[in-house]
A and B are shown apart, each in its own frame.
Chain A
Amino acid sequence: MFPFLKKIFFRGDPPRRQRFVFNVEELRSTFKARYHSFKLLLNANNKALEIMADIEQFLPGEHPFGMSFIRASCTALSVNVFRIIQNLNELAPDKYRELYSRFRDIEGSINQILSRRRLPKGDRLVISLREINGEMADETGNKMAGLGEVKNRLQISTPEGFVITALAYQRFFTHNDLQTEIDRLLQSSSAEQIDHLYALSAGIQQLIIRSDIPSDLEQAIMEAYRDLERQVGGGITVSLRSSALAEDSAGTSFAGQYRSELNVSAENIMQAYREVVASKYSLPAMAYRLNKGIRDEDIDMCVGCMVMVDALAGGVIYSRNPLDMRDGSIFINSVWGLPKSVVDGSGASDLFVVSRDNMDVIKKEIGNKEYKFVCYPEEGVCRLDMAGEKASSPSLTDDQAQELARIAMKIEEYYGFPQDIEWGISHDDSIYILQSRPLKQFDTGEKDFEGAKEPLNGGSVIIAGGITASAGVACGPVFIVKRDMDTLQFPEGAVLVTPSPLPRWAALLSRAQAVVTEEGSFAGHLATVAREFNVPALFGIPGATDKLRNGDLITVDAEERKIYKGRVEALLVQSAHRKRFMEGSPVYGILKEVSRYIVPLNLLDPDAHDFKPQKCLTLHDITRFSHEKAVWEMFSFGKEHHFSERASKQLLTDVPMQFWVIDLDDGFREEAKGKHVKLENISSIPMLALWEGMTAIPWRGPPPVNAKGFLSVLHEATTNPALDPSTRSSYAIRNYFMISKNFCSLHSRFGFHFSIVEALVSERAIENYISFQFKGGAADYQRKVRRAFFVGRILEEFGFRIEVKEDALFSRVEGVEEGFMKERLRIIGYLIIHTRQLDMIMLDDASISSQKEKIMNDLYSIIKDSRG
């Protein structure tokens, strides 16, 4: 051989291999190191499969998850798959290096999806409202872009102002490296728990509020402010409102989850800016993004800064009935002073309904407005109590209501979509539009708002009345929330009962079955969010927090405006199911995209020609391939090294089957001399449990077969070359155990049936697992598939996760304590022996069910025996 060729061929081999040593001590140490690598590989393999199962669980989109879940899963998975490859290449030095390059490709694709970022548009830190139009939403946020459109294209009066742009937000964040720190905080807390979310929200907001505003940004803002002063004359105060990207787009309203700062003086603009930006991480906003699948980094917080209108009266217009698609009337909610209490959904307000056809005021409900919000002369707003006539007098004249209705129709016509408009009337009687956003109408069907139907469902009504804020029926135990503290204990699936529909309760909506409040109208933020999440909400039930008691089971019919005692099945059946709210969201899209490089398994058959590193397209493929090869490498080690002392021993038993055992480490109680090992000498916990199951009940032979089933077997046996034992590598023919004290893998082949069990069972419950694969059979394809399902269903009943691919069954259970795992191993042991050749009867329903009954009886008796 040419010397350089020799070099190439031997470079990868460690010196110990070249020397053909037979020194037992040295071999033992090599073997131990290999076994350690093997164990680490199994560990990583197990962890990787667990993470993949986790990812799969979220793929239907029924449960909320955030980007930090995706990132953490992908990172942990990549690390574990990398460890698998490393350990495999340690077991078989450099034999599987190709896997590294496959891994790099896959990892690169995943990384690219995860690190995709949207760059902010535009080059200005602030933009005057006079220059803004609807196309600039990427720079200014939807809210301010919409207002610019109203002002500049529709020529409808709005306050003067400017927007602090998305670019400015990015400047602020980059300057303080905030995103990195926030991601770290998000990652380190379990965002699923509400109390953790509280602390997290507070922590992040504090972080932002304490951060520096870069001086060029501060300068730009103050310059814009002075321009504003020049435009409208001095002595102004301003309002600062959130105008986040994606806020107020149809379908995701973010209603009321960000902060607005009203009546701010010049010296406090910077602080107010920080606070509005920080409200991106308010608890409701964080919960909302999580539940809607919106990426944290996709939301740039633009802030609108506008001259403060000290309103005489203000409120909200819905350009159509939000609860009835067929009703085109214009709904105006109005209060004295600033529109704040209408927007917050607290306090009483007036309702004016204006007909679209002739502009008549067709309905007027004048509320008893006990307080109003007004501007302090210097700065800030305050709540003033109102008494006497003023409180119960209409806050609008009919003329003003009609004028507002006309404006609403004009804006709606322009956008071609119903609108939700906030407005104020100044002391000189001018109307100002403060914001306008799309209104999502919800169809509750034909509803008689006054009359209540007789209960025909057998339920007993506890409370009737109120306002439908979000339609639907739901049932759950009452949980009363009066203070923030109460929300910490809010149980999943309870009915939220609370005095006032505060926007901050929105964080509870993903956990609440329904909402009942004492006050509020359908115009508030909480109502909007409840509709978005399809959570039934019944508002305006005086005394609800007294009449209902914590823990009472009630059924809320928000449509019929009734609350029933207990669970009223008849009503619940009619009510629609909750939607899969993650579906279609950006975060969901990313999970779907990355999962294409993770979950699909293409390498099914280890005997197939394609079972090689080059064909690994996903992390699952690499995992599967490596596992198969690792087992093979472990097995072949003993042979390659003529390692007689450690090589396989035949198991001495009274069972008429042949088994070989390889001790990997400490699976024998004492050294086994000669070619055999006795069962008494086995110390492997999982092997012993498996063996008990295999031998618990004698096999009765194959079940009676009808003629067709038998023909099917014959046909398959004569035409499928893979079933001919002589074409197999020698190790595949035997039934062999590889064991240590806590580990066992059994490859077995009975006739045409091939199964692999692998189990790690020790006191480390979190590392415990059993995996069981079952494949093959001699019958035709259809029967084999049926059998895979048949066995799978049985395993499912005992807590296994199963997956059937073609005629192969994969099943797993993990992370449970030792006793449970041993029981499961007995079950598998039984199934390996007793389900072979079941495929022959698999098209015969009667014998399927009698077989299943027998098997279940046997299994329960095996478990019982072991517990006895």
Chain B
Amino acid sequence: METVRLLLVDDEEDFRTTLASRLKKRGIDVTDVGSGNEAIELTREESFDVAVLDIKMPGMDGIETLRQLKKIAPLVEVILLTGHGSVEAGIEGMRLGAYDYLMKPYNVKDLLLKVEDAYRRKLLEEGQQRA
């Protein structure tokens, strides 16, 4: 499999940089930013396969970021992270086209599996579009 280009968006810097470095160790090409706005800016310039978004962020939250991101790059598969279980937010995210939803605390292994599956789906979707 080619290198996955992953965009990680979370306002908690410690959490974000730790996770980014762990994902990099597993051979994933990670770019990390601290806000929804930065994420949107970046998506206009670069292309990503998978985005991992924290739902609760000050300013533009994860759900809004997802909404805008999907407009710019519909094929990016988005995995939402949340610390606070909310049925409503979870389903809203899915309706907006999130690939999956991961509840904190989770282990990096679980996240990696989801990233892998999300990436596979993206390749398939791209394949279909070309066909």
Contact = CB atoms under 8 A, between A and B. Distances in A.
A83 B103 contact: no
Nearest to B121: A36
Contact of A82 (B56, B94, B110, B131): B94
A184 B103 CA distance: 11
Nearest to B95: A82
Interface string A777-790: 00000000000000
Given A33-B127, A114-B87, A184-B56, A76 B103 contact: yes
Given A33-B128, A187-B103, A75 B87 contact: yes
B18 interface: no
B91 A82 contact: yes
B85 interface: yes
Interface centre among B82, B85, B104, B110 (most CB of A within 10 A): B85
Given A33-B124, A83-B94, A766-B110, A189 B85 contact: no
A683 B23 CA distance: 32
B117 A40 contact: yes
Contact of B104 (A26, A36, A187): A187
Interface string B27-38: 000000000000
Contacts of A72: 85, 103
Nearest to A189: B105
Interface string B102-131: 011100011001000100110011011001
A457 interface: no
A30 B128 contact: yes
Interface in A66-87: 68, 71-76, 78-79, 82-83, 86
B74 interface: no
B84 interface: yes
B100 A79 contact: yes
B45 interface: no
B90 interface: yes
B88 interface: yes
Nearest to A111: B87
A188 interface: yes
A180 B89 CA distance: 14
A131 B103 CA distance: 47
A78 B110 CA distance: 19
B50 to A, nearest CB: 15
Nearest to A185: B83
Given A72-B103, A79-B101, A767 B113 contact: yes
B35 to A, nearest CB: 18
A295 B101 CA distance: 25
Contacts of B113: 764, 766-767
Nearest to B88: A111
Contact of B85 (A74, A190, A766): A74
B86 interface: yes
Interface string B57-72: 0000000000000000
Contacts of B56: 180, 184
A114 B84 CA distance: 13
A72 B84 CA distance: 8
A78 B83 contact: no
A76 B104 contact: no
Nearest to A25: B131
B19 to A, nearest CB: 14
B126 to A, nearest CB: 11
A79 B84 contact: no
Interface in A170-201: 180, 183-185, 187-190
A75 B103 contact: yes
A74 B89 CA distance: 12
Instruction: Please report whether the interface of chain B is mostly helix, strand, loop or mixed according to DSSP.
Output: helix
Interface string A105-136: 00100110011000000000000000000000
Contacts of A68: 85
B80 to A, nearest CB: 9
B87 to A, nearest CB: 5
Contact of A107 (B89, B91, B117): B91
Nearest to A69: B85
A746 B1 CA distance: 31
A29 interface: yes
Interface centre among A36, A68, A79, A187 (most CB of B within 10 A): A79
A427 interface: no
A99 B13 CA distance: 40
A32 interface: yes
B104 to A, nearest CB: 4
A781 B90 CA distance: 43
Given A36-B120, A187-B104, A78 B127 contact: no
Contacts of A183: 84
A117 to B, nearest CB: 14
B104 A78 contact: no
Contact of A26 (B101, B109, B125, B131): B131
B105 A190 contact: yes
A33 B86 CA distance: 30
Contacts of A26: 131
A188 B107 CA distance: 12
A33 B93 CA distance: 22
A78 B90 contact: yes
A188 B81 CA distance: 11
A22 to B, nearest CB: 14
A180 B61 CA distance: 14
A79 B87 CA distance: 8
Contacts of B94: 79, 82-83, 86
Contacts of A111: 87-88
Nearest to A103: B91
B87 A32 contact: no
B92 to A, nearest CB: 10
A21 to B, nearest CB: 10
A150 B93 CA distance: 54
B84 to A, nearest CB: 5
Given A72-B103, A111-B87, 17 more contacts: A29-B127, A29-B128, A71-B85, A75-B87, A75-B90, A75-B101, A76-B85, A76-B90, A76-B103, A78-B87, A79-B90, A79-B100, A82-B95, A110-B87, A115-B88, A184-B56, A187-B84
28 contacts: A26-B131, A29-B127, A30-B128, A33-B127, A36-B120, A36-B121, A40-B117, A40-B121, A43-B117, A74-B87, A76-B85, A76-B90, A76-B101, A78-B87, A79-B100, A86-B94, A107-B87, A110-B87, A180-B84, A183-B84, A184-B56, A184-B84, A185-B83, A187-B82, A187-B103, A188-B105, A190-B105, A767-B113
Closest 10 pairs between A and B when the two form their complex, measured CB to CB: A71-B85, A75-B85, A72-B85, A184-B83, A188-B83, A188-B104, A79-B101, A184-B84, A75-B90, A79-B90
